[in-house]
Amino acid sequence: MNRFCDYKSCQYFNKQPSIEQRSKLNKVMCPLCMNANYCSNRCRDLDWPIYHKEICKKSQPDRARSCNDTIDSCSTTSVRRKAEEFEIISIGSKLELGRGSYGSVKLVKDKQNGLLYAMKIMNKRQVFEYCSVENLKREIKIQRRLVHPHICKLHHYFEDKENVYLILEYAQNGSLFNYIKKRSKLPENEAFVYFFQTCLGIDYLHKNKIIHRDLKPENLLLDHEGNIKICDFGWSAESLTEKRMTFCGTYEYMAPEMLNKQPHDFSLDVWSLGILLYELLHGNAPYRGKNNEELGNKIKSGQPINFALTLSNDVVSLIKSILKYIPGERLTMNQIFEHPWMVKHASNYNIEIQTYVYKTQNPTRQIPTANFQSKQKSIDIQKKEPLSRPISQDQNKLKEQSNNYKPYQNDYKQEEFNKPRISRISNRNEIMMHQHQLQQQQQEEKLSFMDRVFLAFGCLNREKK
Ligand code: ATP
Ligand code: MG
């Protein structure tokens, strides 16, 4: 039979799609041998490390021997910069700003203009073998056209024989995740600043038809003035009209529709904003579990969440109106900006929210965050000084004892609690899961009918088993 998709685990491996289904599928082929056909980029990426890699090498030995060829044929167009034009700067004894799933992030100085950037170095072999090249292409394609004060700017991208390089705006003060862990939790007026700036960035993305899909404090960086910079667009998607289906994100921040494998839209990010505001104020996400399954079930059950009694009614009402189980019932970005809690805190900082909200008519307009920062006491991350005096620990203790809110640190090991959370089920895990399932399937196929009957009764001889 003429197969529609060459990936053995795809539903179209043995079955032809209907004409209607066919119109929705993209025909793609292996860029090396041009022989294997797939119904989607996902099937091509999953098939490569499991089966096709070996066959492909046989048919095009010269090309496949070199990893560069493989990535070149899939990569986005490079621009004219080179890795040698950037000098790596060490901070104290540290040579890296951080480590991502597919490589490291280093502080570099552009030799041409002396400016500092963060250089994300991704090893091509790892990207090609374990992560979807499509994800990397999407990350570059989306991030390069975004210009907003609260979105980490992608200045250049290029590749050499071994690596793909992203030259990013340098966020000097690390991630909001580490900042929250240092401070344990933030008072409402300080939480407002981070929440508001994140909302401005997300609103800009949504107005540009982009859903971030992996919003969490680990992906919110802080620049030298403590301003939010949204980063990591590896799971972002352009959503023009139709809803999206890919299962991605980080469990603690996943909306019920994602966990229920239902189509999702922009309201997915709105849910994550509600979780973010809760985490800023409590130091932990509202739903936690001993494993992802337990955590996912808690979110899917829609059980009410506990709030610290020290919080104002306004902020509790805002979080509750965002964390609505049904996506259509959640506040829109505009309703968030107009919520009394937002308006009250904005007026405390002498700002008018609407003057900061992105106006689509003038996409290059810069929101004057520097002025915004100078109107308040600057956030000195090193000194860990909050914008307002936090309620003393004793006062907190008394108030928390008087209600049934329990900080999660008591229920879970502290090391677990301080670890950054891992994004989504990565392709790497997915590939391993598929490999395992297929091995089991092949094992079962090797057994004869009678062997399987014996196996079912538990009396198959040991060697065979
Ligand atoms: P993962 O998929 O595991 O989140 P990743 O491959 O997407 O990883 P990033 O999250 O982008 O990698 O970066 C890893 C770490 O490097 C971040 O947690 C942060 O500490 C640091 N980092 C990334 N970008 C910057 C930046 N622009 N400025 C300063 N530090 C950065
Ligand atoms: Mg990340």
Give residue 98's pLDDT: 86
Question: Class of the 83-169 domain?
Answer: alpha beta
Does residue 127 line the site of ligand 1, with CB under 6 A? no
Residue 370 CA from chain centroid, whole number: 27
User: Which of 123, 170, 232, 418 should be mutated for ligand 1, with most atoms under 8 A from CB?
Assistant: 232
Residue 394 catalytic?
no
For ligand 1, atom 16, the nearest C-alpha belongs to: 98
Nearest Cα residue to 231 out of 201, 251, 207: 201
Q: Kindly state the helix (H) or strand (E) to which residue 210 belongs, with its residue range.
A: strand 210-211
pLDDT in tens, 249-299: 788 999 999 888 888 889 999 999 999 999 999 999 999 888 888 888 999
Strands 116-123 and 98-100 come out as: unpaired
Closest Cα to atom 18 of ligand 1: 98
Give the distance (Å) from ligand 1 centre to CA of residue 246. Answer: 22
User: Could you tell me the CA-to-CA distances from 447 to 433, 454, 459 in Å, in that order?
Assistant: 22, 10, 13
**Which residues sit opposite 377 in a β-bridge?**
none
Contact between 104 and 121 under an 8 Å Cβ cutoff? The reply is yes
Ligand 1 atom with the smallest distance to the CA of 171 is 28
Q: Which pLDDT score, from 0 to 100, does residue 87 have?
A: 94
Ordered DSSP codes for 37-96: EESSHHHHHHHIIIIIHHHHHHHSHHHHHSHHHHHHTTSPPP-S--GGGEEEE-BTTB--
Which residue, by CA, sits nearest to atom 15 of ligand 1?
98
**For residue 210, which of 150, 145, 261 has the smallest C-alpha distance?**
145
Q: Is 232 in the pocket of ligand 1 (CB under 6 A)?
A: yes
With beta carbons less than 8 A apart as the criterion, state whether 176 and 222 touch.
yes
Tokens of 62: 């010269």
Which atom from ligand 1 is nearest to the alpha carbon of 234? 7
Expressed in angstroms and rounded, the spacing between residue 181 Cα and the centre of ligand 2 is 17
Which percentage of the chain shows pLDDT scores above 90?
Answer: 37
Ligand 1 contact via 214 beta carbon (within 6 Å): no
pLDDT for residue 339: 98
pLDDT at 192: 95
Q: What local confidence, expressed as pLDDT, does residue 281 receive? A: 97
Provide φ and ψ at 280, rounded to 5°: -60, -40
Give the distance (Å) from ligand 1 centre to CA of residue 73: 26
Asked if residue 98 has its Cβ within 6 Å of ligand 1, the reply is yes
What is the pLDDT at residue 373?
A: 42
Q: Return the pLDDT at 47.
A: 79
The Cα–Cα gap between 158 and 82 comes to 7
Domain at 176-417, CATH class: mainly alpha
pTM given for the model: 0.71
Neighbours of 379 (CB within 10 A): 20
Q: Judge whether 46 and 30 are in contact, CB under 8 Å.
A: no
Of the bound ligands, which one is closest to the alpha carbon of residue 101? Answer: 1
- Find tokens 């004869």 and name the residue: 448
Structure tokens at 359: 């106006």
- Give the gyration radius of the chain's Cα atoms: 25
Which of 127, 232, 121 shows the shortest CA–CA distance to 171?
A: 232
Strand partners, 244: 264
Considering only CA atoms, which residue is closest to atom 14 of ligand 1?
Answer: 100
209: left (phi over 0), alpha (psi -120 to 50) or beta: left
- Low-confidence stretches of the chain (pLDDT < 70) are 1, 31-32, 49-50, 57-79, 129-132, 240-247, 359-418, 422, 424-465
Residue-level pLDDT at 371: 39
